[in-house]
Structures are given as C-alpha cells and as structure tokens.
Amino acid sequence: MEFHANEGKSVTIQAMGKTWARHAIATHFVTVGESYIDLMERYVKPVYQEGDILSMSEKVIAICQKRVVTEEELKPGFWAKVLSRFVHQTSAGPGMGLPIKMQFAINVCGLPKILWAAFRAAIDKLRGVRGTFYRIAGLEVSGLDGFYGEDIPEYEHMGVRIPENPAGVCDEIFEKTGILSMIVDANDLNVEMLGHCSQLKESDEALLDLIRDNPAGQDRQLTPFVLIRLLPEEQAK
C-alpha cells in the first residue's frame, strides 16, 4: 500500500519514540445522515491492518449523526450582532465573528454566561491571554463549524456541531469493524481529542502527537479519515 499525504503535509511523523506513517483516506462528500459504519466498510477496511489507528474528523461523525443546525434555526439578535464585532479572527476562520455563530453560543449557554465570557476575554486579551471566551463557553460552542463557505460551499448555510458521545462511537466502530479509532477536532492551529475507543491505552497527548500537524488538512481535501501505521525499524530508517 502506498501512503498518501495531503499537500503540505508529511507522510511520516516521529511520535512516542517511533516512526509512524499516515495515509489520508479520500471519500465522497459525506451528507447528513449517512452511516459511519458504512463509511468504515467502504473506505477504511480495504486498507486497514491490525494495529493501525484511525483518526477521524469530528465533522464527518457529527454529520452522520445529523448534528447540524441551519440558518433558519438561528436568527442573530441584538447581542449576537454586537458581541461578534469584537471577535479576533484567526486563519482557521471567522469563528464567533459571525453573528449567527454567536447566536448559537447564546442559545446553548444563555446570554449571562456569554456576556461574562466576552467580558473576561476582553480583560485577558489586555494581558496577552487568548482563548478565554471558548474556555468559559465550552466545547459545544468552540466546536461549532460551518456557516462559512469559502473553503466548503456546502457549509455556507449550515453549522456542524460536535459529535455526540465520541468515545461511544469509537467503541461501536471497533465492535462492528475491528477498527481502532479516535475522533479529533483539528485545524492547522490546534488539535483536540474528543474521544477514542477504550482499546487504545495510550494517553490523549500521545495519540494527538500522531496528528499534531493536522494531516487531514482543513480545506476541501475530502480526507476525513487518516490511517496511522507504525513503521518497522527497517522502513523507518
């Protein structure tokens, strides 16, 4: 099997004192309600070997679970429009700088908590500390993708939430397919573990080190699955 890396990414990486190869698995554009078990059977099983680890994008699992919100469900109000003006945009996208995403945060957390998060974030920004807003608002808010069609036009009018019970999903995948997997929220700025199957005994930090450079990419590569394989010593040299 020939391993494939996305543009600008490396096939191999050093982690846990060993050399690993990563293969970015291309799929069709997955739509809402598809079966992630079917995706495993179609795209992953043909290349999977015992001992491999599969890294999965949180977005593809959430879409399979129908964990999406639409513009019709979110109508930005006064506070969403005001607060979104003060959000710092990163290379990962506008984030809460979009009023519709800020309205989602208000709906999920309540206005008092979001006002407090915004106030604390403004104070911490003066001290050179970033990320306070998302730390207070929580993973449900920080993990919202979509409503941004520059890279993936299909997501312009749809938001994708974080998946439900990610560790349970990974355990289900192992029970039905034998695939060891983890679900991550990754971009070119940060990689975060959402859950992994109970058969993986390595720490979250060790597992994330395998994909610290985000080999799946964050544009329209259509590679939501990354197969990770330990290379024998003779191949690692």
Answer yes or no: is pLDDT of 135 > 70.
yes
Which CATH fold would you assign to the domain 12-64+165-236?
Answer: 60s Ribosomal Protein L30; Chain: A; (3.30.1330)
Segment 135-146 mean pLDDT: 90
Domain spans of the chain, in order of start: 12-64+165-236, 68-160
Mean pLDDT score across all residues of the chain: 89
pLDDT band, very low/low/confident/very high, at 120 (cuts 50, 70, 90): very high
pLDDT digits (tens, 9 = 90+) for 28-86: 999 999 999 999 999 999 999 999 999 999 999 999 999 999 988 999 999 999 999 88
| pTM attached to this predicted model | 0.87
pLDDT digits (tens, 9 = 90+) for 169-211: 999 999 999 999 999 988 767 888 999 999 999 999 999 999 9
Among 177, 172, 208, residue whose Cα is nearest residue 190: 208
Sign of CA dihedral 40, 46, 51, 56: negative
